[in-house]
Amino acid sequence: MAMVGLFWITEDCVYVGAEPTGTAPGVRLTEDGAETVGLDRAGAWGWDEIHGIDVRDVAVRAGVRRLASMAFDSLTAFVTGDGELPPAFTVRLETAGGTVEAVALAAVPGGIYPPEEYELSRTVLARLADGRVGVEDLLARRRDQGEAGAPGREERLALLRKWADAG
Rg (CA), the chain: 16
pLDDT computed for residue 82 by the predictor: 53
pLDDT computed for residue 110 by the predictor: 81
pLDDT computed for residue 149 by the predictor: 67
Smallest CA-to-CA distance from 141 within 43, 1, 46 is with: 1
How far apart CA 16 and CA 150 sit, in angstroms, is: 15
Q: Where exactly are the structural domains of the chain?
A: 2-164
pLDDT computed for residue 142 by the predictor: 77
pLDDT computed for residue 111 by the predictor: 87
Reading phi first (left if > 0) and then psi (alpha if -120 to 50, else beta), residue 51 is in: alpha
Tell whether the torsion through CA atoms of 94, 109, 134 and 44 is positive or negative.
negative
Whether 11 contacts 145, CB under 8 Å:
no
- Stretches in the chain below the pLDDT threshold 50: 64-81
pLDDT computed for residue 28 by the predictor: 97
